Amino acid sequence: MKIPHLKKKPELKSCHGVEWEDNYSWIHQKNILEVLKDNSKLLPEVRQYLEEENAYTDHHLSSTKDIQKKLFDEIKGRIKLDDESLPYKDKNYEYWTKTTTEGNYSIKLRKKFGSDITEEIWNGDKEKEKLKTEYFGVGDLEVSWNDKYLGYSLDLKGSEYYTIYIRNIGSENLVTEKIEDTDGGISFSLDDKFIFYSKLDKYHRSKKIFRHKIGTSIKKDILIFEEKKSEAFTVGIGLSSDEKYFFITSSDHNTSEQYYFLASEEIPQPKLIKERKKGVIYSVNSWDGYFYMHTNENAEDFKIERCKNLSKQLWEKYIPAKNEVLIGGLVFLKNWIIRSEVSDALGKIFVKNIKTNIEEEIKFADEKVIVPGISKVQKDNDTDLLYLSYSSPKTQSRTYLYNLKSKEKKLVKEQVIPSGHDPENYIVERLECKSHDGRVVPITITRHKKTKINSSANLLLYGYGSYGSSMSPSFSSTRLSLIDRDIIWVTAHIRGGLERGMKWWKEGKLLNKKNTFEDFIAVANFLIDKKYTSKKKIIGMGGSAGGLLMGAVVNQAPELFLGIIMAVPFVDSLTTNLDHSLPLTVGEFDEFGNAKKNKEHFDYIFSYAPYNNIKKMDYPHILITTSLSDNRVLFDEPTKFTAKLRDYKTDSNLLLLKTEMNAGHGGKSGRDSAIEEVALDYAFVLKITNKF
């Protein structure tokens, strides 16, 4: 089949005295945000090219249709389709969700205390059918305090412009005007007369918090807060744990500022808690006569302080900082305070008895590499009961009803794998390797016990490494389809995440960004040295900022990899950084730098940006996936990257681009569609490893 070629329209670009040519910049339309909301506005020749690439991908993966179907059935066969969540007891009802064999979306149910009648208050499949839409993204789903109203927000394009609806649960009739172009969040006032929401501006940034009176025109909505100090900051609103205050948070990735007002205020007048200070992140909560502040001010990996009064703010130490141990937030019960810590990419949960002031770690399991979690059983905080859960890379999720007082636990839910799963068939290892500068990188390895460690195995190496986002070693039933076929799955906990605290993040961003790439390459070489795999047997995988990682490492060390999978990849990072009109750019200056205003940042980003560093050389097999309505990483980034890579690469390996024409950053909506996307990725892996 003929290889698709995108028309070249050379444009000479310049910044800080540096000039470079971009043959494909023309595909970025000036009205790109309009295209995200209405793809009929896409340039016809760009649409034609994307369709040609899709056809080319389908052609080269046509031999995998059977294995894709087999993988789909396998993955779906490991999901208990007709499943129900554990109930949460509210004031008058218990609420839970369920999924069905036939449906792709969840159903929200409730039952009044003392009644045997179950009400269905939300059914995603029915809602999607009513709207006759291909894409169906649910942003928020909230029940009012009086249990009368259901608030929900929908994105029908994948572009993350959410419309808010409020309806009467009993009649299913809308009780107020729909509110368009929001970030999707819904907060009911305690008297259920109002909702608070955030409106998106022309750059798709949430800058304003409005209060809407239910049943009235949105023209009468009151603006209660607007972020005016920084283009980079966006806003959100939430209620305190004791339900006495609303807190408004304005922040970027690196700095935050909060305001508060009483939940009972007739006309909210938000008051500043603490002036923003660059690099300082803080959040305040309220409970039992104290305000608790979680902050990294003079505490790199966070600490918790508390005070009695926000007007005086006489903060006292509550949880001290620990070096390279990330201190998490607090969960409150009447007699208990629960918190989390993360170190070396492993989480721990601690519980403090308020009466005795004694704090203890809750021990979950005998396994070393686990992901622990807790959630509340009920709204009434006068309880000793808690849901306690954990999973590991080999053990499916298990949830216990845990008595904090007696320390007794009872298994109340275990993730069911209908097709069968025996954790003893798998081996999980936590290893460490030195990176280029001597820093030690944690690695989580999951493999079948029959897989030989003699350099012969293929290995999928997964990484992300941005925004302080940690990769937790949780259970994934989908990965078993590769692991059972003798492919080792490895997660590299590289710098740019928070696996080893804030320093781990700082050492992987701005002018340290290349550490992220060097860590990944170091992990790959370590795994080769330790005979887990060999050169040309590794498949690198990452999405979004993890796609930036993939693009950088494949330009730097292509000889290590058999294949690369990039999902919605941030590969034209210099162009995006220079365009301050895009939704995310200005909010990421503290993550990647500001190339337009700072020459040092420009030179550094230019030196690693995947699109700008494509070379004439052999590349491994590459699968790139993107979505037309993605506002986070615009489809033109992977499109340009693919087109330029076709011009430069000197090999005959596969280079495939697949664009979802009705989807967003997270891919297509719905359970089956999500499984299909995973099956496509895995089929590509099996094709290039000759395992089908």
Known catalytic residues? 544, 630, 665
Amino acid found at 76: K
Could you give phi then psi for residue 46, rounded to 5 degrees? -75, -45
Q: Give the C-alpha separation, 153 to 124, whole Å.
A: 12
Distances (CA, A) of 669 to 105, 142, 566, 680: 9, 20, 19, 16
Alpha helices, H only, 27-112: 32-37, 44-60, 65-77
Least Cα distance to 95 among 192, 154, 165, 169 occurs for 169
Which tokens in the block code for residue 365? Answer: 């399991």
Least Cα distance to 282 among 258, 309, 314 occurs for 258
β pairing state of 538-543 and 458-462: parallel
| Residue whose structure tokens are 């080769």 | 528
Buried b (16+ CB within 10 A) or exposed e, 401-421: bbebeeeeeeeebebebeeeb
Are 54 and 659 within 8 A, CB to CB?
yes
Based on the number of CB atoms within 10 Å of its own CB, is 136 exposed (0-12), middle (13-18) or buried (19 or more)?
buried
- Three-class SS state of 365: coil
**Residues with Cβ < 8 Å from 366, sequence gap 6 or more?**
none
Q: By the 8 A CB rule, do 506 and 479 touch?
A: no
* Rounded CA separation 598/606 (Å): 12
Nearest 10 degrees: CA dihedral of 532, 537, 543, 545?
80
* CA separation for the pair 660, 161 (Å, rounded): 18
**Measured distance CA(623)–CA(569) in Å, rounded:** 11
Left, alpha or beta for 296 (phi > 0: left; psi -120 to 50: alpha)?
alpha
C-alpha to C-alpha distance for 561 and 1, rounded to whole angstroms: 25
**What is the identity of the amino acid at 257?**
E
Among residues 438, 482, 448, which one has the least CA distance to residue 462?
A: 482
From residue 380, alpha-carbon distances to 91, 95, 288, 383, 404 in Å are 7, 14, 14, 7, 15
First-to-last C-alpha distance (Å) of the chain? 23
Interatomic CA distance for residues 123 and 129, integer angstroms: 10
